[in-house]
């Protein structure tokens, strides 16, 4: 990642990059949401995803559910 890109996105958290990439993959966001860093984080975490699936609170479960719901045409704007 170039220094310019890192400087421009320095205030964005890793979880926001990850979320943007996941939303893009599920066609819930436009291409600019899929950053190189978000794609990298997604790839790094992919082996751990099954173990992490049961972790997290209600908000995370809701957010994780949205891409699935959108695939069935049932997503609503929050």
On whether the CB atoms of residues 55 and 49 are closer than 8 A, the answer is: no
- Which tens digits make up the pLDDT trace of 42-77? 898 888 777 766 665 445 555 556 565 555 554 454
Q: What is the pTM of this model?
A: 0.56
In contact, 33 and 21? CB cutoff 8 Å: yes
CA–CA dist 49, 51 (Å, integer): 5
Nearest Cα to Cα of residue 36 among 58, 55, 14, 51: 14
Contact indicator for 35, 14 with CB cutoff of 8 Å: no
Say how many residues make up the chain.
78
pLDDT tens, position by position, 6-43: 556 668 888 899 999 999 999 999 999 999 999 999 89
């Amino acid at each position: 990642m170039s220094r310019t890109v890192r400087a421009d996105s320095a205030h964005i958290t890793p979880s926001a990059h990850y979320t943007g990439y996941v939303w893009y993959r599920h066609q819930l966001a436009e291409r600019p949401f899929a950053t190189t860093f978000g794609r990298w984080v997604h790839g790094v975490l992919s082996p751990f995803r099954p173990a992490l699936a049961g972790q997290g609170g209600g908000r995370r479960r809701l957010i994780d559910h949205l891409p699935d719901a959108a695939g069935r045409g049932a997503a609503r704007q929050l």
